[in-house]
Amino acid sequence: MTSRTAAERALGEYLAHLAIERGVSEHTLAAYRRDLDRYCAFLAGLGLTELERVAEADVLAYVEALRSGSDGRSPLAASSAARAVTAVRGWHRFALEEGTTTADPSAAVRPPASAKRLPKAVAVERVEALLEAASLGDGPVPLRDRALLEVLYGTGARISEAVGLAVDDLDLDGDVAAVRLFGKGRKERVVPVGRYAVEALEAYLVRGRPELARAGRGSPAVFLNTRGNPLSRQSAWAVLQAAAGRAGLSEHISPHTLRHSFATHLLAGGADVRVVQELLGHASVTTTQIYTQVTVQTMREVYAAAHPRARA
């Protein structure tokens, strides 16, 4: 039988600590063992059989191996590599605390960041189907629901900003109709409102809201529930889900989906990214630029499908 290295013995102690003192589940323990066995094999390939001899550069090389597969194993996605690095950091920290090593070479090593997922935008015709579905039925509630969704899509407002609207935040009579939104940190911005949203708001304010308000105590909120109180974010979410169901939309639709669609459709129509930044209330244009990736991808797809010299 081949004798275990000092690193492998130290690993056995750490796994025992996780099982006995930390009480981690068998599933979690198996994942740690799998990740750290790979790390031990990587270190052995470098001729490192004792944790004390491991340097930060060795840990960084292991992170690169996880992503590239240069250690002869399958490369890992960023999320799986991050889990493996977390296991390595936990082991080195334990070794330092136990006095097995005199330094932690992993302390400054950060797990690889997951790639940002591009926001999912809904096609314009599907947004229109969603808005039509919101107004199905009679009474004040369909009028409210249509106005709410028109505001979300027509202004790019966050759900908290939309339900936080007060009647005094609406300016529907000026040359350019607008709403005043309060974003993160109560930062205020004024966003123009299109004709469809204005018409939906006016219909609700005249024929729907007064009826809902009679059940309450004079709330200044634009969007009210059937008890006359301000509509909650959870209720607004339910409004959207119900409309999506009636419209037969199979994709996942959330309030942020409408915000994503607002930004993507503006940029696809030629809007300047800095204007979209102001409309969305982003502190940095870098946050907004993720939407430009969506439109660039769309352009690539259109080009590949339509240009006679795009394909071999």
> Is residue 1 very low, low, confident or very high in pLDDT (cuts 50, 70, 90)?
very low
Please tell me whether the overall predicted TM-score, pTM, comes out greater than 0.75 for this model: no
Which residue is catalytic, options 126, 146, 265, 282? 282
Q: In this predicted structure, which of 86-100, 114-128, 192-206 has the lowest mean pLDDT?
A: 114-128
Torsion of CA 268, 197, 286, 122, to 10 degrees: -50
Q: Of 92, 209, 259, 260, which is the active-site residue?
A: 259
**pLDDT score of 284:** 75
Q: Is pLDDT of 286 > 80?
A: no
pLDDT value at residue 159 = 92
Please report the pLDDT score of residue 21 as a whole number: 85
Q: Tell me the C-alpha distance between 216 and 227, whole Å.
A: 6
Instruction: State the Cα–Cα distance between residues 198 and 164, nearest whole angstrom.
Output: 17
By the 10 Å C-beta count (0-12 exposed, 13-18 middle, 19+ buried), 180 is classed as: middle
Give the pLDDT confidence score for residue 187 in this predicted structure: 86
14 included as an active-site residue: no
Q: For the chain, what is the mean pLDDT?
A: 88
Residues above pLDDT 90, as percent of the chain: 60
Say how many Å lie between the first and final Cα of the chain, rounded. 59
Active site residue 256: yes
Pick from 123, 164, 167, 135: nearest CA to 261: 123
> Whole-angstrom Cα distance, residue 82 to residue 244?
35
Mark out the alpha helices in the chain (DSSP H runs).
6-16, 26-45, 56-68, 78-98, 124-134, 140-155, 159-163, 195-207, 209-213, 233-247, 255-268, 273-280, 285-288, 290-306
Confidence of residue 293 (pLDDT cuts 50, 70, 90): low
Q: pLDDT tens across 9-57, in order? A: 899 999 999 999 888 888 889 999 999 999 999 999 999 999 999 999 9
Checking if the pLDDT of 302 tops 70, the result is no
In angstroms, the CA 193 to CA 295 distance is: 23
Question: DSSP label at 171?
Answer: E
Instruction: Given the residues 38, 144, 158, 265, select the one marked as catalytic.
Output: 158
Active-site residue, selected from the candidate residues 184, 207, 214, 300: 184
Residues 95-135 have pLDDT tens digits of 999 998 999 999 999 887 765 565 678 889 999 999 999 99
Of 4, 252, 256, 300, the active-site residue reads 256
Q: Is the pLDDT confidence value at 312 over 60?
A: no
Active site residue 158: yes
- Indicate if the alpha-carbon torsion angle 256, 261, 264, 266 is positive or negative: negative
In whole angstroms, give the CA distance from residue 156 to residue 134.
18
3-state secondary structure of 215: coil
Q: What is the pLDDT of residue 89?
A: 95
Helix (H) or strand (E) holding 182: strand 178-182
259 is catalytic: yes
